A and B are shown apart, each in its own frame.
Chain A
Amino acid sequence: EADIYQTPRYLVIGTGKKITLECSQTMGHDKMYWYQQDPGMELHLIHYSYGVNSTEKGDLSSESTVSRIRTEHFPLTLESARPSHTSQYLCASSGRDSNYGYTFGSGTRLTVV
C-alpha cells in the first residue's frame, strides 16, 4: 500500500545530541516537505524538496538540515538538539502537480530535555 512513514513517532533526547528524523514514501512523489507544528497547531514549513538533490528552506527559519539523495527518502537532521526544538515534526509528499494535495505522515513528536 502506498504511504508515507515517519520514524520515530516519539523521541525524548538530551540537549546537545544529534538526531535524525526519518521520512520515507512509497508513492514515487517528486515533492516532499517538512513542517514544524507547535502546540498552537499552526503548521510552519521548514524545508521542502522538489526532487533528488534539490532542497530549499521554507518559511520558518530552522536550525535543522535535510537531504534528498533518493526520491523516497527525506530525512531531517538536528546537529545539536536544544529544548527550543521541542515540537511535532510532520513530513508530507505530493506528486508533480501538488495542487492535488499533500499526503502526510503521522509525525514525530520530539522532546529535548
Chain B
Amino acid sequence: AQSVTQLGSHVSVSEGALVLLRCNYSSSVPPYLFWYVQYPNQGLQLLLKYTSAATLVKGINGFEAEFKKSETSFHLTKPSAHMSDAAEYFCAVGGNTGRRALTFGSGTRLQVQP
C-alpha cells in the first residue's frame, strides 16, 4: 500500500521568500516520488521526479526536492518565490508494481504576495 500526505492545503509566501511545500509518503516498496504543478484551468505538469538516483532532485522553474528515507519525506523547495509560482502543487508516490502506480496527495495551494 502507498499513500501521500501533504501538510498544509494553503501556503502563502512573499515574493522573494523561500518556498517550502511538505510531502510525506508511505510505501511498502522503494518509492518513486513526483511533484506536479497545476495552473488555473490547466492539467497537471510534471515539476520533478525521484526514481532512486540522486536524493536531491532538480526540476523546472528553479524548484528542487530532497528525498529523505529516514523521514519518509520529499519536500519541495524554491529559494526565491516569484509571482508566477502561484499555483496548486501535488505530490505523488509510485513504486508498486501493477496497473495503477501513482497515488496523489490532496494538493497545496501556493499564494505569492507582492
Contacts and interface: CB of A to CB of B under 8 A. Distances in A.
Interface of A: 6, 9, 31, 33, 40-43, 45, 48, 50, 56, 58, 90, 92, 94, 97-107, 109
Contacts, number: 65
A31 B49 contact: no
Contact of A99 (B42, B46, B51, B104): B51
Nearest to B93: A99
Contact of B106 (A42, A98, A107): A42
Interface stretch (B12-20, B67-75, B76-84, B94-102): B94-102
Interface of B: 9, 32, 34, 36, 38, 41-46, 49, 51, 88, 90, 94-95, 99-102, 104, 106-107, 109
14 contacts: A40-B106, A41-B109, A42-B106, A43-B104, A98-B100, A98-B101, A99-B32, A99-B94, A101-B34, A104-B44, A106-B41, A106-B43, A107-B43, A109-B41
A101 B46 contact: yes
A56 B95 CA distance: 20
B49 A105 contact: no
A106 B42 contact: yes
Nearest to A56: B99
B34 A48 contact: no
Given A90-B43, A100-B49, A48 B99 contact: yes
